[in-house]
Structure 1
């Protein structure tokens, strides 16, 4: 069920920044970075903080029931995106989708916790994370092909995909269901007094071990969401993926439909689309996560998280320093290893420190660092890239320098300024791209984002030493 949910979710999520900033003439929303940042900010707040409450509800109501409700809500979110291709339509769809996703996660993750022990949890979370990324790998590839036909096809397809979970729910059996029902019966009869969910959640959240975890690990999520949100824009603007295709298939590219699909290529087989390049991340996790999980099983969870966060930060700094496609591939591989060391271990860590009757609650808490990091990145990532890395923004500056009136430059639709510059200057598009890249410090946004990760990695290492002393 998680794999199906991720297939649909990443089919939309990984191309959302491309859709939002694509020119209206191409079927996109034609939004500037700051507007996209507002949508991503509220998307992040909704999706990340809803599980803090719904995790506890899942423990009390039942995992199967909340998974069913979330599936209905998520279908509506995808349909809203398809029906209303405007800023507010996409905002509404994103918020509904985020609410449904926030309900979905605690029940699924708590099922993993209840079905494993400390002895096998590292491998279990690794396999789970690997399986999830099968969906995360296929979803963007479907979107890469469907969006070349029409953007709305992406949203309708994802609504259809997530509906498959209704069938899978028929086979789902909740772990410890009888124990949960017996506990609820005792609460109802008054035999057990249960504090309100808000009070219970707040009391747990105020534990110092959770507060510092949320603050420090949010740095990792800040980077991860920047990779998903900003890297597609950077690859679209500055990375010539045709070089990679020529190295792999020759000067004429490929017409093989299998390769075109698996690599997320344009339909002419000449270039890899931005989401195809980003999707190397999901492919790495899909193929190698169980190997990394086996290796990380002998490392304390906090140390693994610190090492992974450092590798992810190093990868983003590498992206900021270059735009050669094979270096981008190397950076994505490095980032993926960092993610495999960090993200699964964070769920393992939270599951291990959670009290027996509060597993879903604590797995809901695990979304808080994501919420903090994603909320900050949702705005600042788009803003920083819009200021320092956007080819559209830089093209407008050059048009002004060439003497085009400011009113005429402002009238150029978002996403079409570079093409206008090509027409005005009469120069080759690739040559102009190289000139703009050389004349501007495009990597500034990545340097700032990577610096956040380096600070977080150092903090996680210190946090690990502190928690180890507490255990002793």
Structure 2
């Protein structure tokens, strides 16, 4: 019997229940989140809420930032009151949150519903990861976490295709997206109630919730006293600001600027059925299919990329990965050629595969054995700050440089057109096109040539270059003479 088979057979049933719950939770989240930006900014007659880009990105960035901050507290509480109870509460909260997002449309009620969902997700995140840790040992932990991260990406890959199948661009046409997420969470509620067995937990002194939170925050502050860790986390705030443009900016950029009909025609020549399933109302491909190249690439190429970057020191692998991410995303934006979009997203994915796992590995390498858990607990901080700042970059900055709604209003004023400002976004756009004797694709091309919205690529490149240069300085000066032997031995 091989070592792999032996390790595989040692997983208890709770390990598989936890992985299944992760699959459905990621299905629920990515089924909603990958499409949320477009839903929020879409015209009312296409079922959207007609938020501005600034409103959409501010809300998505801030709420997701909170989601990444809370797990450090909720994880500590779960150790006291039990994983099964926390998971049950989490699923009830998330289910209600997804349902409320389906039925409320006003600005502040929607924000409250989304925030409620984020609290539920923050309860879930640390518990499921801890369950995987507690149901594996030294002999099968590597395989166990490999299965877990594969499940994460499978859930993230499947979900957008389900969203394509159940949604449409018409009033009420987006509601099924949220209801499918409710259904996935209900599956998890059944799983935790019927099949989840509480893993063994270390007995700890009885403490109030306030004491637990205070101790947790104190430990984080203690870890941040290590300047090597603090500077690294600050640098990675910029990387996660770049990374989150994939969710906060790219979907709306695709919908606003790309004519993806050539992609549809190419896919149709290979598989008419798949092409028609992915077909958008304008005759191109649905944006979810294009952003989902990212998750698909990770599923198929992560092991290959990981094997390649093993040859390099972690810091250099991160620098190379971040640079590739920036180049890829910039290539997707700099021209409105849809083939550049496909290639750019794939290149970005290669960079992500090189960088993201190495970040976690490197934080662990900075700590002594007795501080690894403490240091790893700080890795949420750059996610937290990066999401928040990403909302600013993909919001006001994007709205100034690349937002189609803003630019068509400028164009109408430039041409001296008289257009009713009370029209819906799509009706306003069509009225401008009509007065200029253009169709929608011609007006989009005119806006592109006049205002160059692809210049947002320079913002992306600036974020990537800043991060790479900062990591180079960090490596050359802050870590000089302070590297571990294994780091010196590598390229």
- After superposition, residues 223-238 of structure 1 pair within 5 angstroms as 223-238=242-257
Per chain length, whose mean CA-contact separation is higher, i.e. which structure has more relative contact order (CA < 8 Å, sep 6+)?
1
2:462 to 429, 436, 451: 451
1:44 is matched with which residue? 64
Q: Which runs of 5+ in 1 are unaligned?
A: none
Change (3 A) 1:368 1:428: same
Change (3 A) 1:24 1:387: same
CA contact 2:61–2:248 (8 Å) conserved in 1: no
1:266 to 269, 272, 280: 280
1:153 to 176, 184, 207: 176
- After superposition, residues 25-64 of structure 1 pair within 5 angstroms as 25-64=45-84
Deviation at 1:283, TM superposition (A): 0.9
2:119 is matched with which residue? 99
Residues 1:19 and 2:39 aligned together: yes
- After superposition, residues 133-282 of structure 1 pair within 5 angstroms as 133-148=153-168, 150-169=173-192, 170-172=194-196, 177-178=200-201, 180-181=202-203, 184=204, 187-188=205-206, 196-250=215-269, 255-256=272-273, 258-261=274-277, 264-266=278-280, 270-282=283-295
2:402 to 389, 413, 423: 389
1:367 to 373, 380, 389: 380
Q: Distance in 2 between matches of 1:126 and 1:293?
A: 12
Deviation at 1:215, TM superposition (A): 0.8
Q: Distance in 1 between matches of 2:67 and 2:39?
A: 20
1:82 is matched with which residue? 102
Q: Distance in 1 between matches of 2:84 and 2:227?
A: 32
Q: Which moved more, 1:442-451 or 1:18-27?
A: 442-451
**Partner SS for 1:163:** helix
Q: Distance in 1 between matches of 2:307 and 2:198?
A: 27
Q: Which moved more, 1:121-130 or 1:206-215?
A: 121-130
Deviations, residues 218-269 of structure 1 (Å, cap 9, x unaligned): 222111211211111111111111101212324xx9651x4544xx43379x
Deviation at 1:198, TM superposition (A): 3.0
**Partner SS for 1:411:** coil
Change (3 A) 1:236 1:158: same
TM-score for both structures, normalised by structure 1: 0.86
CA contact 1:110–1:359 (8 Å) conserved in 2: no
Deviation at 1:63, TM superposition (A): 4.2
CA contact 2:31–2:162 (8 Å) conserved in 1: yes
2:437 is matched with which residue? 426
Q: Which moved more, 1:230-239 or 1:417-426?
A: 417-426
Q: Which moved more, 1:381-390 or 1:325-334?
A: 381-390
Change (3 A) 1:241 1:42: same
Change (3 A) 1:412 1:249: same
Q: Which moved more, 1:100-109 or 1:212-221?
A: 100-109
1:314 is matched with which residue? 327
Q: Which moved more, 1:274-283 or 1:139-148?
A: 139-148
1:328 is matched with which residue? 341
Deviation at 1:67, TM superposition (A): 3.2
Residues 1:71 and 2:91 aligned together: yes
2:424 to 401, 413, 421: 413
Deviation at 1:70, TM superposition (A): 2.2
CA contact 2:58–2:388 (8 Å) conserved in 1: no
CA contact 1:77–1:94 (8 Å) conserved in 2: yes
**Partner SS for 1:14:** helix
Q: Distance in 2 between matches of 1:309 and 1:114?
A: 32
Q: Distance in 2 between matches of 1:299 and 1:115?
A: 31
**Partner SS for 1:295:** helix
Q: Distance in 2 between matches of 1:122 and 1:415?
A: 51
Q: Distance in 1 between matches of 2:441 and 2:420?
A: 21
CA contact 1:110–1:363 (8 Å) conserved in 2: no
Say how many residue pairs are matched. Answer: 455
Deviation at 1:364, TM superposition (A): 4.4
Q: Distance in 2 between matches of 1:164 and 1:351?
A: 35
Deviations, residues 425-444 of structure 1 (Å, cap 9, x unaligned): 22122222222211222122
Q: Distance in 1 between matches of 2:341 and 2:365?
A: 36
**Partner SS for 1:164:** helix
Report the aligned-residue RMSD: 3.0
CA contact 1:8–1:162 (8 Å) conserved in 2: yes
1:3 is matched with which residue? 23
Deviations, residues 439-458 of structure 1 (Å, cap 9, x unaligned): 22212222113211221123
1:378 to 367, 379, 391: 391
**Partner SS for 2:150:** helix
